[in-house]
Chain A
């Protein structure tokens, strides 16, 4: 043993797994800021009482549209409710729409894309044609039409409509990534050594093909949150008494409220913008970290 430690000092220095590119992520200040924003918003969504003691439904009409004052840092909305506590309670809905949409799309794209890309043939035809049909539909108008059919809309209504139109594009990404990987030599090697198709797919193809899907999914969280707000403004999203940044923006945009009290538009838009941006930065950083070719 002593002989080998002299001959190969590296063998002792190497402890456990090698450093992954993921750890280098933290060196980027932009990533740190993005992670902090996402952490804060997530905490707001999970434990709103950490951030505010004021009941968002404890409203006083006489305070309607008043500006920030001590104890009420963002002032009051039209109904005279504390705006900050509404923002805090709205984080959950906005984040839920973004995260659920991304997560469900991820699962569908992963399964469908892998099957289509790896097995080809009839499976591929069925999946690809379905996705082509989806991609051929004008998303904005179709979403409006579908959501308009529902009298009461919950987070899940919105999530399902968004998933319906978002899985197809991510699926195509996964499919092409799988098709690229499945022709590589180490996949042939695994097959040639008698490894069955499901095992080849699960332990060799998918781990090597999933990176672009992870990145796309992260990027899409922000898009889902923005879509939720958009639906509210167009009148097909969530409605009071739900809490969401989208509803706040929608109410501020009605009847020229934002011209009288611009802060009512500014605060929820700021939160939405920052969070969306944070997910985009997170996705971009992940891409740089996971794709050695794009690393600078």
Chain B
């Protein structure tokens, strides 16, 4: 059976006049099925948000170009769908929650108008009916006093409430796939927990597929079934989140997990991955991670490791994955 969303070997580059094109994504593949939560992990600039925007079809148009691969959704390739057909999918069957709700909401429209727009565009509802549906949706994401607050503008809401509005917009048409791009980064810790709980609850109840972009490993562990670790525009490792966190097969995943502060680090320096993520315009030859990697050998500096399946459902792009897994098993 094919998955609901199947991204196959997606490659994408950015081009600007006078500069060589920059490969932002290389050969990214993953699948996502109904009722499943996939966490996409990685540092800033690793290609997480670009992947999400590629699926949503909202990449900046002349600047970016898809150079290869397919995004299969429910049997259709989204990349070759004509624009009017694509718009029927966008928002209705695949929807997205943005990172910063304040900048993702139109400042000069009331929140209800913005939620109602979805009902008007996709369902052809009249103004009044769409407004009522929008208020209903605001209640569903537990905005207190929704009927009164419907005609307020985004700036009149707190950060957490704004993110709820975003979620209401994304969920308005009961999509099959929900993409959440770091939905809690702009929020404080207590509100984060509420929003995550809300997302988890709704996606579970409606059996949605959730693509959760985050760099918070705690959030990923709590919510996701599987994880996809990205580094410099490529997939470093993918697999069920439990077995990945217990025994990472890529040194980068290992480094990420090792950087979680714990009681053992009390009083000392927190562990980090040394070095900086590479400039994707100037990737090091071979494996992009080799300058920062403790396992790196000559092979890593010359040959790009393929994303190899080494166990059912688990894959990693590393020449030394056996060694990495062995090290993790010893408890290093």
Contact = CB atoms under 8 A, between A and B. Distances in A.
B106 interface: yes
B107 A191 contact: no
Interface of A: 4, 8, 11, 14, 16-18, 120-121, 183-186, 188-196, 199, 203-204, 207-208
Given A192-B53, A204-B109, 20 more contacts: A8-B144, A8-B145, A11-B145, A17-B151, A18-B153, A121-B62, A186-B105, A186-B106, A188-B98, A192-B56, A192-B57, A193-B90, A193-B95, A193-B117, A194-B89, A194-B122, A195-B87, A195-B117, A195-B121, A207-B109
22 contacts: A8-B144, A11-B148, A14-B148, A17-B151, A18-B152, A120-B62, A186-B105, A186-B106, A189-B98, A189-B105, A189-B166, A189-B169, A192-B53, A192-B91, A194-B90, A194-B118, A195-B87, A195-B117, A196-B121, A203-B109, A207-B106, A208-B107
A195 B91 contact: yes
Nearest to B115: A193
A120 B63 CA distance: 12
Nearest to B147: A11
Contacts of A121: 62
Nearest to B154: A186
Contact of A194 (B53, B92, B108, B156): B92
A208 B109 CA distance: 10
Interface residues of B, number: 39
Contacts, number: 87
B89 A186 contact: no
B91 A4 contact: no
B104 A194 contact: no
Nearest to A14: B148
A194 B87 contact: yes
B314 to A, nearest CB: 32
B87 A196 contact: yes
Nearest to B166: A189
Contact of B121 (A18, A188, A199, A207): A199
A192 B108 contact: no
B175 to A, nearest CB: 10
Contacts of B58: 188, 191-192
A215 to B, nearest CB: 16
Given A186-B105, A188-B53, A193-B90, A4 B121 contact: no
B176 to A, nearest CB: 14
A189 B153 contact: no
Nearest to A196: B87
A207 B153 CA distance: 14
Nearest to A184: B103
Contacts of B152: 14, 18
Contacts of A190: 106, 117
Nearest to A205: B106
B96 A186 contact: no
- For chain A, what secondary structure do more than half of its interface residues adopt (helix, strand, loop), or is it mixed? helix
Nearest to B100: A185
Contacts of B105: 186, 189
A193 B169 contact: yes
B98 A208 contact: no
A29 B149 CA distance: 35
Given A120-B62, A186-B104, A4 B96 contact: no
B10 to A, nearest CB: 17
A189 B166 CA distance: 10
A159 B232 CA distance: 58
B233 to A, nearest CB: 20
B156 A18 contact: yes
Nearest to B172: A193
Nearest to B118: A193
B96 A194 contact: no
A208 B108 CA distance: 7
B272 interface: no
A211 to B, nearest CB: 10
Contact of B90 (A17, A192, A204): A192
Contacts of A189: 96, 98, 104-105, 166, 169
Give the 7 A-B CB pairs with smallest separation, nearest first: A193-B91, A194-B91, A194-B90, A192-B56, A185-B103, A189-B104, A192-B58
A194 B153 contact: no
Nearest to A7: B144
A4 B143 CA distance: 13
Contacts of A14: 148, 152
A186 to B, nearest CB: 5
B60 interface: yes
Interface centre among A8, A193, A199, by most chain B C-beta atoms within 10 angstroms, is: A193
A16 to B, nearest CB: 8
A183 B87 CA distance: 19
Nearest to A12: B148
A185 B98 contact: yes
Contacts of A183: 60
A18 B108 CA distance: 12
Contact of B106 (A8, A120, A196, A208): A208
A11 B100 CA distance: 25
B88 interface: yes
Contacts of A208: 106-108
